[in-house]
Structures are given as structure tokens and as C-alpha cells.
A and B are shown apart, each in its own frame.
Chain A
């Protein structure tokens, strides 16, 4: 009851005109940086940090938070329209979102992404309000061995990402992990595979690789195709139909729960939540063959999960004072400037800030929905831009995106190289998504395993003696073995059918 009261109070605080104004500015800016590939919320917040000394504290914080979840709304737009993920957390949306756009269903895809984001974000907020302290304590139980087991479990999701041959998908995941090993060794700090090129010391960045693999390669493939073949389908509808809703409502529910849980564990990033949500949908779907060919579930689930995860991602920071990534560190910095050091006592000592920000996120999510729905009509007109005009624009935005992510020309080179790699992959029917999964999970898995080994002085038992780690190891084995069981069942079904005939 007390929580409800505080929550209501928070919403009232956030509804004050000044806070509303800053909130709107935040979500608007967030949508903008979300749409632009490469430029992410971290960059936008860093630019706004010096403003901290001059702006009213709460309103300023509301704006910064607005940028972070606003970006999750915007990220899917370019994924769906032109196959370039605006944020890494919208990579997986490319698979079915872009396929839908090519069938003339960009409107429903964008619509379900916006509704899913709204539902995921809002429900996740309620979870933060009621469960934050308990979940934060739970998150602390995840040490290196637990992460290692969880990542192994995550890799088994790979099986469901591929819609082509499994050997090719595994090969691509392996390539992704290998790419991830370029740069400084996370344990010894020694350069690996850098060939004395300074830029490679920082590794092959996710952003330039993703923009290259998806965006640039798509343009190259389309250039080869006859102009006019690209989006030959008429635009059908602006909003999701009743059938779309029926198909999406369960994926949205599951995406919310999954995103919320993944986000609450410090150190897992939003990207992993989206991959997991997609994998789950494909696993339990009655028609998994439709995934990758324009299944609306493949847009609804990950787009819901990324918003839910980006909301619950605040739990470690707000209830324990532990920043878990670049964006949360920036907000930590902003809070510090105002003398509001986040820590275990933060909610108790500064309730007006905690609840005010939560309240603003409820309002902000509603604003984003209202902001994004009318934009759909505008966005899908992008697809009517003549190709000779659209493609150079896509390349231009890709280059700007790769450059702004780090301010480094080396990353533009990496993007172009991966554009060519992505083109060749498409020609030879290799899929880029498993490679991105390898690139995301590879470094997390490697550091977790190596840290565990240091902790245990080389004994593998550490992965099986700790309960949470043992649980995920068991789950991973189950995932790997379950196809054997289903195959046997399927085998029986086929035999039965044959016998009936």
C-alpha cells in the first residue's frame, strides 16, 4: 500500500509542467538517437552532462532517463524499414521486421513494436516499483561461475536463431566469438590479434560490425537486384490487425517477463534479452518455419523484451548504487553531480527522486506511444523514396553511425569490411544473426570462464558446486539433449502416420 502511495505521488511529481517538459525533451531525443544507427543514448547523455549544473535536478534526471528508454522505441524503426538496427538491441528485429516490410507490412511491424515497447516498459516499471530491493539482492548472487553457466545456456539459444542449416549457423557463431577475442585480453591486458594496429586494441566494435553486416550488405545485395524488385509489395495497413494482436499478445507477455528478469541481473545486456525472447518464441511456436520470413511474433517479443530489460536494468543502480554499463554509469555521474550518491540507502534517503523518476517513466512511455504511432505513416513513406536516392542515404547514415559510435575512422573501415563480408555471407546463404550472438556472448563467456578458473585455481567443479551455476548447466544440457527426444517423438508420429495409410 505504501508502495502504491509513493508511486502515485511519483506520478504526480512527474506531471508537474517543468518535469513534463524535460520528460518530453528526453523521450523525443531518445527516439531520435534510437533511430540514428551508431548514435546511442550514451553519446547523447554524455553531451548533456555539463547541463547538470544549471538544470533543476529532478527534471534533468527525468530527461536523461527519458533518453534511455526513448532510444529503445526508436531502435526498431530502421531495423524494420531498411534492415539497419538503430541500436544493437534491435538487431534481432531485423530478421522478421524487415521481412514484414518487404511484404508491405512495415506499418503493423512498427505498430506492434511500439505497443510491445509500451506494454513491456510499463509492466516492467511496476516490477521495479514492487520488487527492486529483493531482485537487486538476488542479482548479487551472480558471480563469474554463474555468468559462465548462464552464457553457455544462452549459446544454446543459437539453435533457434538460425532458419537455415545448423552447421552454417554454428560456424558463424564461432566466427563471431573469434572476432570478439580481438583486442586486449580481458584478464592479462595483453593485445591479441591486433597486428600492432592501434584501433584493434579496443576490439572489433559491435556497432560497426552490425551496421556493416546488416545495412551495408543489404544495400549491396539490392544494388545487384533489378531496381523495382526491392519493395514491390504494396503497403498493406498502418496498424496491426486483430489477427496480428492475437498472434502477438502472448509473445508480448513472455517478452515482458523475460526482459524484466534478464535486465535485473547486473552485467547482462539488453541485447541478450532480445535474443532470448526471439529464441523462446521460435522454440514454442507452432510454425517455427515462419520465423525469419515475416512472423510478427519475431518483432513483438524482442521489441517488448528490450524495453522491459532497459527498465529493470535500473534496479542494480537505483537500489544498490551499482552501475552495470555505460549508460547507467553516466546516470550515476549525473546523480553524483547533484550530491545524490546512489547506494543501498538511495531509495530511503531520496524517495522523491526515486519515485519521481519512476513516475516520469510511466508518463514517458505513454508519451512515446503517442509520439510513435503517428510517425508510422511518415516512416513507411521512407520506403517510397526512389532507390537511387535511398541507398546512398542509407550508406551515408551507416558511415555517420559507425563514426559517431567511437569518433574513430578505424570503425568506419571495419564497417565497410563487414559490409562486404555480409554481402558474401548473403550470397552464400550464411546468416548474420548467429555471428552477432557470438560477438555479444563470446567476450562475456570468456571472461566469466577465466575469472571462475582463477577463483577456483583451475578446478572445473566450481561450475557444478554452486547452486545457480549448476542449475544453468543443467538447463543448458537439457536444451542440447531435448532435440534428441523430440526427434524420437517425431519419428514415432511419422511411423504412426505411415501405418495409418
Chain B
């Protein structure tokens, strides 16, 4: 009797997904992107979606849903049918911060999502200073901050982003105090650094690169080796391995997706990425193309991501404590 149940159960839960997988995909896939249209992250997904459609031979429609700092998009996909036709394209940290701030959220990264593919450390965050200032290295900055706590001002990004949190990590690791001045993003931070209103700025390497090339700014440290600024040393190499909130972008599906469908999607994304044209394009735009698709690797990565953000309070992350 018990054997019979197992066999039936196997037939229902084990076999039917394979049948589905054979026919998957046979209708358009919706890719919900939690970043605003036209931004760096959105562009990755749009470029990938276009080529992915050719590999999968169905349409891949990008839908931007930015409301609630990505929470609405995450909740939509977490609650969608587990058939692979609804995917989330997001900055992994965005879902990780929600998870840390409120583990009971309807979109818990570990509990509710099945990672399909992760572009690990897709872009570097760089700490830049002015070329005409006395601070030429990270060491100079730390020394001055120890001498005069809180005196130096660094332009950072909005609360909860790696532009801001990595400064917090540096302060903790080096036991120093620097005043963080939040701006809307890399471009504004750099503008204020160029104008001499702040001492340093945290920015994406791509945004900082033209100013470094023009000799106006200098790179002090990056969180992951940069493809466009290979000469700038990482925080880890300069003695602060704790500053490591690598930004990753991810394709996530609702948890419970048949394994074969997940693998099929993961393989298709890998195949898309391998294509020389796209790869070169992303690299040229300063993106790392370290793509992870193996299930064990992915599950480890999302757990690590949640751990990384667990070092912060919900307030640090821009969410109210629940």
C-alpha cells in the first residue's frame, strides 16, 4: 500500500514535471525587473532577454516594476505560478535586505525563491578622491580619519545600497569615523566631489572611469576587481576583506519550480551569455561576466548574500524594523 502511494506520488510529482519540461517553454516568459527602465541593471536584463528569446524560441517580455524598492516585484514573482513563465530580474542585495529586515516578508530570498542564474559581482563599487588632494591612497584616508574623527566627508548613495553600506563596513573594519553624506547615486556623488563639496565619493566604476582617465579623480579602492579600472586595488588587498558587499544580479523563480525547468532556463541563460557579442558588450560596459548556474553554487550564494546583510540593522538597510 505504502509502496503504491510512493509510486503514485512519484508519478504525480516526479514524472509530470519532466513532461512539462519537454514542452517548456511554449508561451511568452515574463521577466519582472525591479529596477527602473534604462538603468544599468535594467539594461543587462533587456540585453539578455533579447538574446534569451532566440535561444528559448519564445518571447521574453521585460516588465519594470520598481515600486516599494523592489518589494512589489519580488512579492509578485514569489507568489506566481511555479512554472518558469514568471521570473524576477533583480539586484540580489535588494531581496536580501528585505529578507534581513523582515524575515517574515512575503518575499524571503531563501524561503520563497529558486535561483536560476546569478551574475556574481556584476559591477565594482569604487571609492574615489580628487587627484589634487593630499589623499592618494586608502591608507592616507584612514590615517587622517584617525587623527580627526568625523572630519572627512564621503558622498555615498541612498540608504541600504552598497554605495552606503560599504562605507559603514570600512568604518567598522578600520575603526574610524568618516561623515557619510547621502546622494541619489553615483553621478550626483561624483558631481559633488568634482565641485569640491566632499572629500571622497562612492560610485560605480563605470561612472568614475571617465573622470579618472581625465586626471581629475583617483581611485582609492574597489570592492571587486574592476574590468574598466584594473589598476585600482581592492579593499581586501589593502587589509579590509570585510568590505565585500559585492553587487550581484540574479534571475529568480518562485521556490518549487521543477528542477528540470530551472536547469533548462539556467542553461539557456549560460548559452546566451557565452555568445561573444553580448559578452563583449557587457565587458566593455564594465560588467563582470562571472555567471553561476549550478544549483549548489546558487543556493550557497543566496545564503551568503543574506549573511552579508545580516551585519546591518534594518534601519541601516532602509527598512523599518518589524
Cβ of A283 under 8 Å from chain B: no
Cβ of A243 under 8 Å from chain B: no
For B, the interface residue count at a CB cutoff of 8 angstroms equals 55
A480 CB contacts on chain B under 8 angstroms: none
Cβ of A228 under 8 Å from chain B: no
- In the bound assembly, the distance between CA atoms of A5 and B93 in angstroms comes to 50
B47 to A329, Cβ gap below 8 A? no
- 27 sample A-B contacts, Cβ–Cβ < 8 Å, listed by A number: A46-B37, A46-B64, A49-B37, A53-B277, A53-B281, A140-B195, A141-B195, A142-B195, A143-B195, A143-B197, A144-B181, A186-B158, A189-B315, A322-B190, A322-B191, A329-B39, A337-B281, A341-B206, A341-B210, A344-B214, A344-B216, A406-B67, A407-B65, A408-B65, A451-B181, A455-B181, A457-B150
- In the bound assembly, the distance between CA atoms of A50 and B183 in angstroms comes to 29
B72 to A198, Cβ gap below 8 A? yes
- Check A190/B194 contact, CB under 8 A, given A202-B66, A344-B211: no
B196 CB contacts on chain A under 8 angstroms: 140, 143
Cβ of B310 under 8 Å from chain A: no
- In the bound assembly, the distance between CA atoms of A319 and B110 in angstroms comes to 45
Binary B-proximity of A127-157 (CB < 8 A = 1, otherwise 0): 0000000000000111110000000000000
16 further interface pairs, Cβ-Cβ under 8 Å (given A50-B46, A324-B187, A343-B210): A53-B47, A53-B281, A141-B195, A198-B67, A198-B71, A266-B191, A316-B191, A324-B191, A333-B40, A336-B285, A341-B206, A345-B214, A346-B210, A410-B67, A454-B153, A455-B179
A199 to B67, Cβ gap below 8 A? yes
A144 CB contacts on chain B under 8 angstroms: 181, 192, 197
Cβ of B68 under 8 Å from chain A: yes
A321 to B37, Cβ gap below 8 A? no
A320 to B46, Cβ gap below 8 A? no
Nearest B residue to A320, CB-CB: B194
Q: Which residues 194-235 of B sit at the A interface, judged by CB distance below 8 A?
A: 194-198, 206, 209-211, 213-214, 216
- In the bound assembly, the distance between CA atoms of A188 and B319 in angstroms comes to 10
- In the bound assembly, the distance between CA atoms of A455 and B158 in angstroms comes to 17
- In the bound assembly, the distance between CA atoms of A322 and B68 in angstroms comes to 27
A185 CB contacts on chain B under 8 angstroms: 159
Cβ of A330 under 8 Å from chain B: yes
Q: Which residues 172-187 of B sit at the A interface, judged by CB distance below 8 A?
A: 179, 181-184, 187
- Check A321/B195 contact, CB under 8 A, given A46-B38, A191-B320: no
- In the bound assembly, the distance between CA atoms of A50 and B191 in angstroms comes to 28
Nearest B residue to A346, CB-CB: B210
Residues of A within 8 A of B (CB): 42-43, 45-47, 49-50, 53, 140-144, 184-191, 198-199, 201-202, 266-267, 316, 320-324, 326, 329-330, 332-333, 336-337, 339, 341-346, 406-408, 410, 451, 454-455, 457
B219 to chain A, nearest CB (A): 14
How many A-B residue pairs have C-beta atoms within 8 angstroms? Tell me: 144
A455 CB contacts on chain B under 8 angstroms: 153, 179, 181, 197-198
Nearest A residue to B210, CB-CB: A343
B315 CB contacts on chain A under 8 angstroms: 188-190
B191 CB contacts on chain A under 8 angstroms: 140, 266-267, 316, 320, 322, 324
A333 to B210, Cβ gap below 8 A? no
B182 to A186, Cβ gap below 8 A? yes
- In the bound assembly, the distance between CA atoms of A101 and B47 in angstroms comes to 46
**Choice from B37, B68, B194, B195 contacting A47 with Cβ under 8 Å:** B37
Binary A-proximity of B147-184 (CB < 8 A = 1, otherwise 0): 00010010000111000000000000000000101111
A106 to chain B, nearest CB (A): 34
B46 to A406, Cβ gap below 8 A? no
B160 to A189, Cβ gap below 8 A? yes
B317 CB contacts on chain A under 8 angstroms: 189
A289 to chain B, nearest CB (A): 41
Cβ of B59 under 8 Å from chain A: no
- In the bound assembly, the distance between CA atoms of A230 and B143 in angstroms comes to 72
B80 CB contacts on chain A under 8 angstroms: none
A143 to chain B, nearest CB (A): 3
A322 CB contacts on chain B under 8 angstroms: 187, 190-191, 194
B50 to A50, Cβ gap below 8 A? yes
- Check A323/B68 contact, CB under 8 A, given A189-B318, A333-B43, A344-B210: no
Cβ of B42 under 8 Å from chain A: yes
A339 to B284, Cβ gap below 8 A? yes
Nearest A residue to B318, CB-CB: A189
- In the bound assembly, the distance between CA atoms of A167 and B274 in angstroms comes to 65
Cβ of B63 under 8 Å from chain A: yes
B64 CB contacts on chain A under 8 angstroms: 46, 407
A53 CB contacts on chain B under 8 angstroms: 47, 277, 281
Cβ of B69 under 8 Å from chain A: yes
Q: Which residue, A45, A143, A346, has most C-beta atoms of chain B within 10 A?
A: A143
Q: Which residues 44-95 of B sit at the A interface, judged by CB distance below 8 A?
A: 46-47, 50, 63-69, 71-72
- In the bound assembly, the distance between CA atoms of A187 and B164 in angstroms comes to 11
**Choice from B40, B42, B67, B284 contacting A201 with Cβ under 8 Å:** B67
A316 CB contacts on chain B under 8 angstroms: 191
Q: Which residue, B159, B206, B210, B213, has most C-beta atoms of chain A within 10 A?
A: B210
A184 to B67, Cβ gap below 8 A? no
Nearest A residue to B50, CB-CB: A50
- In the bound assembly, the distance between CA atoms of A333 and B186 in angstroms comes to 14
A190 to B195, Cβ gap below 8 A? no
- In the bound assembly, the distance between CA atoms of A337 and B64 in angstroms comes to 20
B38 to A49, Cβ gap below 8 A? yes
Nearest B residue to A334, CB-CB: B38
B71 CB contacts on chain A under 8 angstroms: 198, 201
- Check A408/B67 contact, CB under 8 A, given A46-B42, A53-B281, A188-B159: yes
- Check A42/B195 contact, CB under 8 A, given A201-B68, A321-B210, A333-B43: no
Task: Return the 6 tightest CB-CB contacts between A and B, nearest first.
Answer: A189-B159, A343-B210, A46-B37, A143-B197, A198-B68, A189-B318
Nearest B residue to A266, CB-CB: B191
A343 to B67, Cβ gap below 8 A? no
- Check A326/B179 contact, CB under 8 A, given A49-B46, A50-B46, A406-B67: no
- Check A267/B188 contact, CB under 8 A, given A407-B63, A410-B67: yes
A201 CB contacts on chain B under 8 angstroms: 67-69, 71
A357 to chain B, nearest CB (A): 18
A341 CB contacts on chain B under 8 angstroms: 206, 209-210
B192 to chain A, nearest CB (A): 6
